[in-house]
Structure 1
């Protein structure tokens, strides 16, 4: 379990580094990874909003 968590953390950090590098004009592959990272982040953010809304609705 620790190995899987470590891999996820490394991938997240690498994605963040690619986003910063792409913002400074990195190569095409970096911009592609940055786009995937930003899309995944947005999907996670939306799923968190949906879950918190569902939790709030169930409290009523």
Structure 2
């Protein structure tokens, strides 16, 4: 999947992890990208917006 035009962001909670973070791009229609902040040129996972929302909701409950 091509993620050209993705706007990547880190969680505000990631500042204390010595750079060990994930970045999320949720500005593209129909897809949410997730990548390792230490390897920005490396692979990215992609999710549907509904799947990503379910994952985030689940992790907030845990």
Give the structure with higher Rg (CA): 1
Query: Per residue, is there more strand in 1 or in 2?
Result: 2
Query: Per residue, is there more helix in 1 or in 2?
Result: 1
